[in-house]
């Protein structure tokens, strides 16, 4: 099967300076945008709570989001999953527990109103309040560390806007006083409460609840970035050994270009940047370098066949020879992605769209980023060789007395 019958003779390389200029401007703009605005990190990286909901009646994502906001949630992200008739949604909220900085301040004020509080500490990451009171705030003291039922403590903190899962008595301190620990309720509880308030028919099933703490999210984000760096380094080493050192930098720069361009999609669209996005970028690296390797391999063959020809001409021949193969590979992959874009939802749609953009920029970078950089390095090597030869001849000239 051939899309292009016969040999083409398109002068791709003559447009390399314009292409490099446009690519440099776009890459620089995206990097500046990332520095200024950052990505819209998903629960995987930013930390937070994900709740899967199933409704027994027809409802859309917009209605669920409005109901959640009406019930007291701020900026929830609601995403439909499956067919529209299934009425299944993923609701994402920042934070693992209901305890916030403002909530902790309000809770401290409320607790201090219960009696003489000598110590108060809040752990926002884990949703824990700990304080010490001069007098006992509950009934009969159980074993230290055990949960207690204290209506006063629970009512005070709940009234301050933070749900309470458990109140623990930590025991009597040596310096006098009684120490308590309050574990705030999870964000999933707040989601359910908000929906019950905001919906006319509060009938739904909570199918799944996932929590990602801020520290875990940060670790996942850092490891995802390192995975990209390690992959690019390994590919650079492979290309340098498989071909020639002057081919390696072109492959590396083209991969960096592709990663930045696909990252620009997430920056401009404000779609969630999460572990699926890292998977997209790693997939694009493999796809891009595969196309680059095919062209590099043909360049190496043509360099043997056309000894003495300038490298730009050889690269033009190689790109034209592999053009039909490139269009077939890219076209078939793009066709499968179009199906996902039409029928996919949620993260599957995000993956497909990012991959679609990655295929376009990956094919482009093999011709207009990797190849021109190889030409530039070859020209520098030739210029250096000529300078060295010129210096050698100059040193061999006899000195005139």
% of residues, the chain, pLDDT over 90:
9
According to the CATH classification, is domain 13-41+213-382 in 1.10.15.40? no
Highest mean pLDDT, choosing among 21-25, 65-69, 292-296, 392-396: 21-25
Residue 330: which residues within 8 A CB-CB, separation 6 or more? 291, 359, 360, 363
Where along the chain do its domains lie? Answer: 13-41+213-382, 48-96+189-210, 101-184
Tell me how crowded residue 254 is: count the other CB atoms within 10 A of its CB. 28
Which residues 6+ apart lie within 8 Å of 63 measured at CB?
none
Q: How is 21-50 classified by DSSP, letter by letter?
A: HHHHHHHHHHHHHHHHH--EE-HHHH-EEE
Q: 200-230 burial by CB neighbour count: b if 16+ within 10 A, else e?
A: eeeebeeeeeebbbbeebeebbeebeeebee
236 in helix, strand or coil? helix
Per residue in 254-287, pLDDT (tens digit) is 889 999 999 999 999 888 888 888 889 988 888 8
Q: Select the CATH number that applies to the domain covering 48-96+189-210 from these four: 3.90.1530.10, 3.40.640.10, 3.30.830.10, 3.30.70.3400.
A: 3.30.70.3400
- The 3-state secondary structure of 267-286 reads HHHCCEECHHHHHHHHHHHH
Backbone angles phi, psi at 164, to 5 degrees: -115, 125
Beta bridge partners of 201: none
The sign of the torsion formed by the CA atoms of 135, 139, 145, 148 equals negative
**In sequence order, which residues have a C-beta less than 8 Å from that of residue 360 and are 6 or more positions away?**
330
How deeply is 92 buried, as exposed, middle or buried, from its count of CB atoms within 10 A (0-12, 13-18, 19+)? Answer: buried
pLDDT of residue 30 exceeding 90, the answer is yes
Q: Give the CA radius of gyration of the chain.
A: 31
pLDDT digits (tens, 9 = 90+) for 320-329: 888 888 888 8
* Closest among 362, 359, 367, 299 to 334, alpha carbons compared: 359
pLDDT value for 237 = 81
Both tokens of 329, joined, read 């590979």
Beta-carbon contacts of 163 under 8 Å, excluding residues fewer than 6 positions away, are 98, 184, 185, 189, 190, 193
Q: Which of 181-195, 202-216, 233-247, 384-398 has the lowest mean pLDDT?
A: 384-398
What is the model's pLDDT at position 4? Answer: 63
Q: Which CATH class is domain 101-184?
A: alpha beta
Residue 72 burial class via C-beta count within 10 angstroms: exposed 0-12, middle 13-18, buried 19 and up: middle
pLDDT band of 12, cuts 50, 70, 90:
confident
Q: Is residue 138 pLDDT above 80, yes or no?
A: no
Mean of the per-residue pLDDT values of the chain: 82
Q: 302-317: per-residue pLDDT in tens?
A: 888 888 788 888 888 8
Concatenated DSSP letters of 144-212: TTEEE--HHHHHHHHHTT--EEEEEEEEE-TTSSEEEEEEEPBHHHHHHHHHHHH-SS---EEEEEEEE
């Amino acid at each position: 099967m051939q899309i292009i019958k016969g040999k083409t003779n398109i002068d791709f390389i003559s447009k390399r300076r314009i292409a490099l200029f446009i690519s440099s401007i776009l890459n620089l703009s995206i990097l500046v945008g990332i520095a200024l605005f950052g990505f819209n990190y998903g629960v995987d990286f930013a930390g937070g709570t994900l709740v899967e909901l199933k409704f027994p009646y027809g409802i859309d994502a917009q209605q669920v989001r409005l109901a959640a906001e009406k019930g007291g949630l701020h900026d929830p992200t609601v995403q439909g999953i499956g067919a529209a008739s299934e009425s299944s949604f993923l609701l994402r909220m920042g934070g693992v527990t209901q305890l916030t900085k403002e909530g902790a301040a309000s809770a401290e004020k409320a607790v201090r109103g219960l009696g003489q509080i000598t110590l108060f500490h809040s752990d926002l990451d884990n949703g824990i309040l700990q304080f010490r009171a001069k007098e006992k705030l509950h009934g009969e003291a159980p074993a230290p560390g055990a949960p207690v039922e204290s209506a006063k403590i629970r009512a005070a903190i709940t009234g301050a806007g933070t749900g309470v899962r458990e109140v623990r008595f930590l025991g009597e301190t040596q310096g006098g006083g009684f120490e308590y620990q309050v574990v705030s309720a999870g964000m999933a509880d707040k989601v359910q409460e908000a929906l019950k308030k905001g919906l006319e028919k509060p009938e739904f099933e909570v199918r799944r609840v996932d929590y990602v703490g801020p520290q875990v999210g940060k670790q996942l984000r850092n490891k995802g970035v390192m995975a990209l760096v390690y992959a690019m380094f390994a590919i650079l080493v492979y290309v340098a050994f498989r071909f020639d050192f002057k081919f390696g930098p072109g492959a590396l720069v083209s991969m960096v270009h592709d990663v930045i361009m696909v990252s620009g999609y997430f920056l401009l669209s404000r779609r969630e940047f999460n572990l699926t996005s890292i998977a997209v970028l790693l997939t694009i690296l493999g796809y891009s370098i595969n196309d680059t390797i095919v062209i590099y391999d043909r360049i190496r063959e043509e360099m043997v066949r056309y000894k003495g020809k300038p490298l730009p001409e050889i690269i033009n021949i190689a790109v034209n020879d592999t053009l039909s193969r490139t269009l077939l590979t890219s076209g078939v992959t793009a066709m499968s992605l179009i199906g996902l874009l039409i029928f996919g939802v949620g993260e599957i749609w995000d993956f497909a769209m990012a991959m679609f953009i990655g295929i376009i920029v990956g094919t482009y970078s093999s011709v207009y980023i990797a190849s021109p950089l190889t030409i530039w390095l070859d020209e520098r090597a030739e210029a250096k060789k000529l300078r060295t030869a010129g210096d050698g001849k100059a040193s061999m000239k006899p000195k005139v007395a």
